[in-house]
Amino acid sequence: MARPARLSGGDARRPTILDVAAAAGVSRQTVTRAVNGMEGISAATRARVLSAAEELGYRPSRFGRGLVTGGERQLGLVLDDLRNPYFPELAAAVVARAAAHGWNVLLVDAALADDPAELLESLGRQVDAVVGYFDTRVPDWIRGPGPLPVVTLGETIDPALGGVLLDDGPAMADLAAHLAEAGVRRPAVLDPWETGEFGDRGQRLRAVLEAHGMPVRAVRSAAVSADAAASAIAPHLVGPDAVDAVVAFNDIMAVGVLAACRRAGVTVPDRVRVAGIDGLPLGELVSPTLTTLAIDLDEVAREAVELAIGGGPPLATRVVRHRLVVRESA
């Protein structure tokens, strides 16, 4: 049998079970039996169907295999810690975008799971595409014919996967220039690194601040939380060598810095300027309002969902950039 050809690059739709049936010269029911490992067909027929499915890039709807009715497609969403308001905000944006395409969303929190590897393996068996934060946790989700589309999110993107790159570089440079112009000379970067001196984000912040002539004090927070941030920064807010600016890993930690300043009687922004990263709505609710490097989560969701379910090219990378939002705290 001649090897079937994939759908042409101009055809953005995904291959269907009917495409596989036509390519393999069998019925739709035979394709269903082959891809689901059911009895009633010969080994040779099963091999022919699976070969056609692989060549076409066909992947059956995993969630449609008896888990729900009606043929809905299922998008997996992997998040890092739902206690951080950033992730519920992102989840809401992804759910809205997916719903507009007729997809459901199955959400998992890998950071809070007892066994993240098992959780992610289970997710891969239930969904038709996956979006999320993975770091090094991307397992082998290939179960049967066709690749499972995986869209990674983050400030670095695995070139073997593609995804949505959240580019904070230009906004960090804008923040550094703003702080230097305001007269900052002793900034601290508050970062929850685990090993070494800084995590990736902390390293980028230090580089742009020092490029503007401001030596950076590295302050480690024991956790990504407001309480941990407040405890970590408190000793650096008073005394002859007190810092005059704090750039926190995210908005939640920046809110903790504001709390530490209030407790120490340190006025913001007169004595210490404070900035966070993410652009969460809570930054407009605290006092003083929080300067931040904001990311448009609706745009992130739109790009991620389009990559995951839109039939675009594999390994594509799209970029969403942060922007500096100057408020009262800086």
Among the three residues 30, 58, 86, which one is the final residue of a domain in this structure?
A: 58
pLDDT higher at 128 or 48: 48
199-246 pLDDT tens trace: 899 999 999 999 999 999 999 999 999 999 999 999 999 999 999 999
pLDDT given at position 137: 56
40 and 142 inside one domain: no
Looking at the fold, whether 90 and 197 belong to one and the same domain comes out as no
pLDDT for residue 274: 98
Tell how strand 291-294 and strand 323-325 pair up: antiparallel
194 and 125 both lie in a single domain: no
CATH of the domain at 24: 1.10.260.40
Predicted structure pTM score = 0.77
In a domain, 302, yes or no: yes
Domain that holds residue 230: 169-294
Residue 328 lies in a domain: no
What are 52-99's pLDDT values in tens digits? 888 887 766 554 444 433 456 899 999 988 999 999 999 999 999 999
More confident residue, 143 or 269: 269
Q: Which residue did the predictor score with more confidence, 117 or 10?
A: 117
Residue 254 forms part of a structural domain: yes
| Distance between CA atoms of residues 247 and 207, nearest Å | 13
Are 86 and 99 found together in one domain?
Answer: yes
86 and 122 together in one domain: yes
Report yes or no on 330 lying in a domain.
no
**Judgement on whether residues 202 and 115 belong to the same structural domain of the protein:** no
Number of domains in the chain: 3
Report pLDDT digits (tens) over 143-157: 334 567 788 899 888
CATH number, domain at 178? Answer: 3.40.50.2300
Phi and psi at residue 319, to the nearest 5° = -120, 130
CA distances from 137 to 33, 92, 132 (A): 32, 23, 11
Helix then strand then coil, % of the chain, to nearest 5: 35, 20, 45
| Number of residues written out for the chain | 330
Q: Are 105 and 94 in contact (CB under 8 A)?
A: yes
110/220: higher pLDDT? 220
* 97 falls within a domain: yes
Residue 324 domain flag: no
pLDDT of residue 64: 45
User: Are 31 and 113 found together in one domain?
Assistant: no
Q: Are residues 187 and 285 located together in one domain of the fold?
A: yes
Whether the predicted pLDDT of 11 surpasses 70: no
